[in-house]
Chains A and B, each alone.
Chain A
Amino acid sequence: MSVSESGLKVGARGLRRALKGDVASSILAVIASFLVGALIVLLFGYSPWEAYKALLQGAFGSWYAASQTLANATPLIFTGLAVALAFRGGVFNIGGEGQLYVGGFAAALAGIYLHLPGVFSLLAALAAGALAGALWAFIPAILTGRNPAILVVTTIMMNPIGTLLADYLLRYHFLGPGATTFETAPVAPAAVLPRFSDQSQLSFGILLAIAGIGLVYYLLFHTAWGFELRAVGYNPLAAKYAGMRSFRNTLATMAVSGALSGLAGAVVILGVYQRFVGGFSPGYGWDGIAVALLARNSPFAIILTAGLFGALRAGGINLNMATNLPVDLINVLLGLVICFVAAPDILRFLFSANWRLKRRPSND
């Protein structure tokens, strides 16, 4: 083997590891849910063909549609990465929604009140969002992180605390001057994440999200920190025996995961609304769990799964206008995807008659 060849092999190694996983079953899950979705559409007396056509047009039919798909995907990439990274480290961070909300709020405040030269206003606002998200994940982690099973409960309970706290602060301390709706004053123009065009909600946030994918991949698969994080995630006991400090690791994992969720909020606030709007998130934090699950926690696959979810959200509006089918059909489709991902045996049963033969031999 020549030197360059082996170098290539080693370079591709992290990549292969990142992509490793059950790609086929995720694709099957999507196909299966669309098939079952078609049956449901039929049951309601509509043509599945028309429905999916409308959905597709709404998601990709024009530049505007495609940009809306990407705009919807942007926060989902961040929240998906947040969940995937935590999962790799063995913790189930379902506090994404709260972390995103406080992240968005902190980013807005920084954008309104911090006036820094040039691009630093924007950077400071983004950093504020990430920090707030990190803090919101760190609090439950330091209180209960020694027992990741409890961490699931505490992160979820931090969600209403975060959203209600931000709403309270908004209502009694930070309402915009003369605001008739539930929102702050606009952020300083220097802190706005620019959009690609005035019509679309797509901002430069999508580029940050893509950079985020690269960063998370690098962290997980090319640093000692990521090596340790994944080892603790797979087998905390063996990690401990090898000398790793799993609690410290869990704290760091949660902080980075929370920062990613916080960035999701910051990117929507600074790019789309350019001020803090109460209730701005339609559940990006929650959808991030599904995005990560479908992507099998692979950073690169998240761009596809977040894209799929973004497309369904964007296309759903057109589906409703074109066919009278309720937008909720989208939720049904997403729910089906999750069912099929979470219960792969159903798929195996549906797609392969002889699945019983694939069982592994017993240990001798």
Chain B
Amino acid sequence: MDFILEGRKVTKRFPGVLANDAIDFQLKPGEVHAILGENGAGKSTLMNIFFGLQQPDSGKILIRGKEVRLTHPAVAIAHGIGMVHQNLMLIPHLTVAENVILGREPVRRSAFIDSEKAVKEIALLAQKYGLEVDPTTHIENLPLGVRQRVEILKALYRQADILILDEPTSVLTPQETKELFATLKALAGQGKSVIFITHKLKEVFEVADRITVLRGGKLIGSATPQEKDESSLAEMMVGREVLLRVEKTPAQPGEIVLRVEDLSVKSDSGHLAVDGVGLEVQSGEILGIAGVEGNGQSELVEALAGLRPLVKGRIWLKGREITEDPVRSIREQGVGIIPEDRQKQGLVLEYPVDDNLVLNCYYQKPYNTGLRMDWKKVSAYARELVGKFDVRTPSLEAAASTLSGGNQQKMIIARELQGGLKLLIAAQPTRGVDIAAVEFIHRQLVAARDSGCAILLVSADLDELMALSDRIAVIYRGRIVGRLSAAEATRWLLGRLMLGLDGSKE
């Protein structure tokens, strides 16, 4: 038996899409195997097939050399496959132990859940694999990194030998990511096999023993990290040469565009999410805001955009106070906003591409002539933007919902980068976007900077922050806990500050 899990010519077709085109895949026992690919490459479909969530149209699946039919996740679990989904599937109000045993509760006198036994078993399991967690804490009190550990425990509790992790690092801090990788290596060391889905190249080199690259539903190839470097893998993923590094010249900061003084804002649940923040962004520079998600970044952005009432503080744009201004007025004074959630905040998904491109200016001439919209002008303007920003869409009338994430994001960038922009507030501008689009968006942001725009960049992606920012401010629990120049910022230092630790050496 060479392979613990094997897919032979696995094919899955959806209406209009060949999601998996005769894919051959082999997983060796005790290896960490990375599946690398852009959005839409077919990674998740393949994993869903291995976990019994979807049935292949043709092809075979072999587990320990025997052909199996994985008709349901329960069947896959019975064969020793466990999956950790990107959106963790835990119940916040229950404890770690309760979540782990869910559906497999140890029973006492055939009716009662044996909690003691459960807690003991889980503690033992956690110890065995170095997954440090207290089985009696409630999930809601745990940080995301630990919750993910619980998911892994859940799979191990069900005696999984094969672990599938779907983009596990997308929600983690650098430190948590490091811990996760250590865990994965430990698991592999004890004979478990791990499949690890990602589109981040760096991670592959840190943790994978082998790499399989998918593109457009096809298998492009398998390799070991020793055989490849980042740029050749990127080329395999995208199908052409990709510029991984952002090319930019030193910033030429000018006058102060955005000034924020002692800003405090409450979150939806009423606690103080932003607590006395002061910032300045100059024209021609990018100020990055680093932080673990949920430390007040979203509220900060909304407050600056006029979308959230302030508890206290004042905001100036080019010396003019805009503290009390409504969104539209702030926008009209030259502020563009790229919201963190493009589908919920950035686009009207049911609207066609052209309508979405005028969402911020439809009411102005020449699009609105008073009693009538001039749709011809709207179309002409939209066509121009679609061309300039390389938005791939079948037509201007296609609903925004039908476009890929990268193209949706390009639409928003195209819309927000227009018209005498003085300040761009960019929140997670490349989240969930494929490499090619990331490259394009980064170039647009740098170009906007070079043309004199001030940019406030909020991102959970440290690589992005470090590549783009001229200065970085770290936010922790609503406070700015560190300010660094691009040259001073290292992953290690940022990571410590993001966790609220002292930035100086240990």
Could you tell me the distance between the alpha carbons of A64 and B332 in the complex, rounded to whole angstroms? 59
- Contact: A238 with B375, CB < 8 Å? no
- Contact: B362 with A241, CB < 8 Å? no
Q: Looking across the interface, which residue of chain A has its beta carbon closest to that of B37?
A: A364
B250 at the interface (CB under 8 A from A): no
Chain A positions 190-242 with a Cβ under 8 Å from a chain B Cβ = 222-224, 227-228, 230-231, 234-235, 237-242
* Contact flag A360-B15 (CB < 8 Å), given A10-B379, A242-B360: yes
Total contacts A-B at CB 8 Å: 94
Could you tell me the distance between the alpha carbons of A10 and B373 in the complex, rounded to whole angstroms? 11
B267 at the interface (CB under 8 A from A): no
Q: Report A-chain residues with C-beta under 8 Å of the C-beta of B328.
A: 243-245
* Contact flag A361-B371 (CB < 8 Å), given A238-B344, A241-B307, A243-B331: no
A363 at the interface (CB under 8 A from B): yes
Q: Report A-chain residues with C-beta under 8 Å of the C-beta of B379.
A: 10
A146 at the interface (CB under 8 A from B): no
A173 at the interface (CB under 8 A from B): no
- Contact: A362 with B362, CB < 8 Å? no
Residue of A228, A243, A244, A358 ringed by the most chain B CB atoms within 10 A: A243
B40 at the interface (CB under 8 A from A): yes
**Distance between B373 CB and nearest chain A CB, rounded to angstroms:** 6
Chain B positions 37-96 with a Cβ under 8 Å from a chain A Cβ = 39-45, 48, 54
Interface window among B121-129, B347-355, B438-446, B494-502: B347-355
Q: Report A-chain residues with C-beta under 8 Å of the C-beta of B350.
A: 234-235
**Distance between B50 CB and nearest chain A CB, rounded to angstroms:** 14
A13 at the interface (CB under 8 A from B): yes
- Contact: A364 with B349, CB < 8 Å? no
* Contact flag A361-B346 (CB < 8 Å), given A10-B376, A234-B351: no
B492 at the interface (CB under 8 A from A): no
Could you tell me the distance between the alpha carbons of A234 and B14 in the complex, rounded to whole angstroms? 27
- Contact: A241 with B345, CB < 8 Å? yes
- Contact: A240 with B363, CB < 8 Å? no
Q: Report A-chain residues with C-beta under 8 Å of the C-beta of B224.
A: none
Could you tell me the distance between the alpha carbons of A87 and B231 in the complex, rounded to whole angstroms? 51
A14 at the interface (CB under 8 A from B): yes
**Distance between B332 CB and nearest chain A CB, rounded to angstroms:** 8
A279 at the interface (CB under 8 A from B): no
**Contact with B347, one of A235, A243, A358, A363 (Cβ below 8 angstroms):** A235
Could you tell me the distance between the alpha carbons of A230 and B351 in the complex, rounded to whole angstroms? 9
B305 at the interface (CB under 8 A from A): yes
A181 at the interface (CB under 8 A from B): no
- Contact: A222 with B48, CB < 8 Å? no
Interface residues on A, range: 20 to 34
**Contact with A231, one of B45, B346, B351, B372 (Cβ below 8 angstroms):** B351
B326 at the interface (CB under 8 A from A): yes
- Contact: B44 with A364, CB < 8 Å? yes
B133 at the interface (CB under 8 A from A): no
- Contact: A234 with B307, CB < 8 Å? no
Q: Report B-chain residues with C-beta under 8 Å of the C-beta of A364.
A: 19, 39-45
B201 at the interface (CB under 8 A from A): no
Task: State the majority secondary structure of interface residues on A.
Answer: helix
A7 at the interface (CB under 8 A from B): yes
- Contact: B19 with A223, CB < 8 Å? no
**Distance between A126 CB and nearest chain B CB, rounded to angstroms:** 22
Q: Report A-chain residues with C-beta under 8 Å of the C-beta of B384.
A: none
Q: Looking across the interface, which residue of chain B has its beta carbon closest to that of A243?
A: B328
**Contact with A241, one of B41, B326, B327 (Cβ below 8 angstroms):** B327
- Contact: B48 with A362, CB < 8 Å? yes
**Contact with A222, one of B14, B41, B373 (Cβ below 8 angstroms):** B373
- Contact: B375 with A361, CB < 8 Å? no
- Contact: A234 with B360, CB < 8 Å? no
Could you tell me the distance between the alpha carbons of A231 and B307 in the complex, rounded to whole angstroms? 17
- Contact: B17 with A361, CB < 8 Å? yes
**Contact with A361, one of B45, B355, B360 (Cβ below 8 angstroms):** B45
- Contact: A241 with B373, CB < 8 Å? no
**Distance between B78 CB and nearest chain A CB, rounded to angstroms:** 23
- Contact: A238 with B376, CB < 8 Å? no
B397 at the interface (CB under 8 A from A): yes
**Contact with B44, one of A7, A238, A243, A363 (Cβ below 8 angstroms):** A363
A2 at the interface (CB under 8 A from B): no
* Contact flag A245-B363 (CB < 8 Å), given A13-B375, A364-B45: no
Instruction: Indicate with 1 or 0, residue by residue over B231-247, a CB within 8 angstroms of chain A CB atoms.
Output: 00000000000000000
* Contact flag A358-B348 (CB < 8 Å), given A10-B379, A224-B362, A243-B360: no
- Contact: A223 with B346, CB < 8 Å? no
B339 at the interface (CB under 8 A from A): yes
- Contact: A240 with B327, CB < 8 Å? yes
- Contact: B362 with A235, CB < 8 Å? no
- Contact: B373 with A224, CB < 8 Å? yes
**Distance between A242 CB and nearest chain B CB, rounded to angstroms:** 4
Instruction: Indicate with 1 or 0, residue by residue over A320-364, a CB within 8 angstroms of chain B CB atoms.
Output: 000000000000000000000000000000000000001011111
- Contact: B15 with A240, CB < 8 Å? no
B337 at the interface (CB under 8 A from A): yes
**Contact with B372, one of A222, A228, A362 (Cβ below 8 angstroms):** A222
Give me 5 A-to-B residue pairs in the complex whose CB atoms sit less than 8 angstroms apart, sorted by A's number: A224-B373, A227-B373, A235-B347, A241-B346, A358-B15
A residues with CB within 8 A of B? 6-7, 10, 13-14, 222-224, 227-228, 230-231, 234-235, 237-245, 358, 360-364
Known: A237-B344, A361-B17. 19 other contacts (CB 8 A): A10-B379, A13-B375, A13-B397, A222-B373, A222-B375, A227-B362, A230-B351, A237-B345, A238-B339, A238-B344, A238-B347, A238-B348, A240-B327, A242-B327, A243-B326, A358-B15, A360-B14, A361-B19, A364-B39
Q: Which 4 A-B pairs have the closest CB atoms?
A: A361-B14, A243-B328, A224-B368, A242-B359
